[in-house]
Amino acid sequence: MSQRDSGYERKERDLYETPEWVTEALSAHLPDDALMRVWEPAAGAGKMVDVFEKWGAGWFASDIEPLNVSVAQGDFFRWASPPHRSRSIITNPPYDLATEFCEHALRLMEPVNGLVAMLLRTDFDHAKSRAHLFRDCPAFSKKLVLMKRICWFVEADGKPKASPSFNHAWYIWDWKHSGPPTIGYGP
């Protein structure tokens, strides 16, 4: 079965700003210490960071090409250690680099027993080539399935330009986790 084409050109650098409700769905599924210092490495204009501020989380935001003055410029893959004593990485990675983002984030968070949360399509964990991130990764702790589809394209009045065509989930890895992963459901 092939996936439906949205009919829209892909945005440059896969810049799809995460709606507030999507980030909010994650809050009840994170341990308190994960919010002490969050790094958002694909921050764009900082929409996810706005939610972190509402949570009272400490945060650091970066992007290869920031769209906001509070977002530092930097290529995520050039970081050899987490900046500003970050204890978690929470992001909506560029789709074409999602596997690499997951792998690098896990490498960065392992030495600090940190947490990684990535917003990805719900079938991202199905590929054999990514078994090392899920089935074979002791840090994989939870898949949080969003029950509502994300609308990435909206008109000026806030109404969708088209019906959303993909399902998404938050994938959470926690280096303090033990036992099998769990599944949860969000809005």
pTM of the predicted model, to two decimals? 0.88
pLDDT at 6 (0 to 100)? 43
User: Rounded CA gap, 152 and 9, in Å?
Assistant: 12
Judged by average pLDDT, the poorest of 11-20, 56-65, 162-171 is 11-20
pLDDT at 157 (0 to 100)? 72
Does the pLDDT at position 14 exceed 60?
Answer: no
pLDDT (mean) for 73-102: 96
User: Rounded CA gap, 153 and 161, in Å?
Assistant: 6
Does the pLDDT at position 82 exceed 60?
Answer: yes
Residue 148 pLDDT grade (very low, low, confident, very high; cuts 50, 70, 90): very high
More confident residue, 160 or 92: 92
pLDDT (mean) for 153-171: 76
The pLDDT tens digits for 25-69 are 999 999 988 888 999 999 998 999 999 999 999 999 999 988 888
pLDDT at 32 (0 to 100)? 85
pLDDT at 90 (0 to 100)? 98
Does the pLDDT at position 5 exceed 80?
Answer: no
End-to-end CA distance of the chain: 26
Does the pLDDT at position 2 exceed 50?
Answer: no
User: Rounded CA gap, 124 and 102, in Å?
Assistant: 11
The pLDDT tens digits for 95-136 are 999 999 999 999 999 999 999 999 999 999 999 999 999 999
User: 3-class secondary structure for the chain?
Assistant: CCCCCCCCCCCHHHCCCCCHHHHHCCHHHCCHHHHCCEEECCCCCCHHHHHHHHHCCCEEEEECCCCCCCCEECCHHHCCCCHHHCCEEEECCCHHHHHHHHHHHHHHHHHHCCEEEEEEECCHHHCHHHHHHCCCCCCEEEEEEECCCCCCCECCCCCECCCCCCCEEEEEEECCCCCCCEEEEEC
CA distance to 30, 44, 73, 74, 113, per residue, from 78 (Å): 27, 17, 11, 8, 20
Judged by average pLDDT, the poorest of 2-6, 43-47, 48-52, 177-181 is 2-6
CA distance to 24, 33, 79, 172, 181, per residue, from 184 (Å): 14, 20, 31, 11, 10
Q: Which residues contact 132 (CB under 8 A, 6 or more apart)?
A: none
